[in-house]
Amino acid sequence: MAPKTKRAKKPGIWDGLYGEIQVKRVQPYEALKAYVCPGCNRDIPEKMGHYVCVPVEATDLRRHWHYACWDRRTVVTS
């Protein structure tokens, strides 16, 4: 299914395109709404702890991530 495109690695918003990412931990009791995690495109249901990740130069692009998705994203595999 995947199209045969070369994976040109260009910086995305989570790789510093809009500066450093501020990561804040949202506790379950603070999670009052459901969000969609950009790492896996699945819901983060309300009352689930997760991260809020905010590019410092584009704070309106803040997104909510599952803990696991964000942690996996930041691990550089070689």
Interface residues with Zn ion (CB under 5 A)?
37, 39-40, 66, 69
CB 21 within 8 A of CB 33: no
Smaller CB distance to Zn ion: residue 18 or 65? 65
Minimum distance of Zn ion from residue 48's CB (angstroms): 10
Q: How far apart are CA 12 and CA 39, in angstroms?
A: 12
Minimum Å gap between C-beta 42 and Zn ion is 6
Residue whose CB is less far from Zn ion, 34 or 57: 34
Smallest gap from Cβ 4 to Zn ion, in A, equals 26
In the chain, the largest separation of any two C-alpha atoms, in whole Å, equals: 44
SS percent in the chain: helix, strand, coil, step 5:
20, 25, 55
Nearer to Zn ion, 40 or 52 (CB): 40
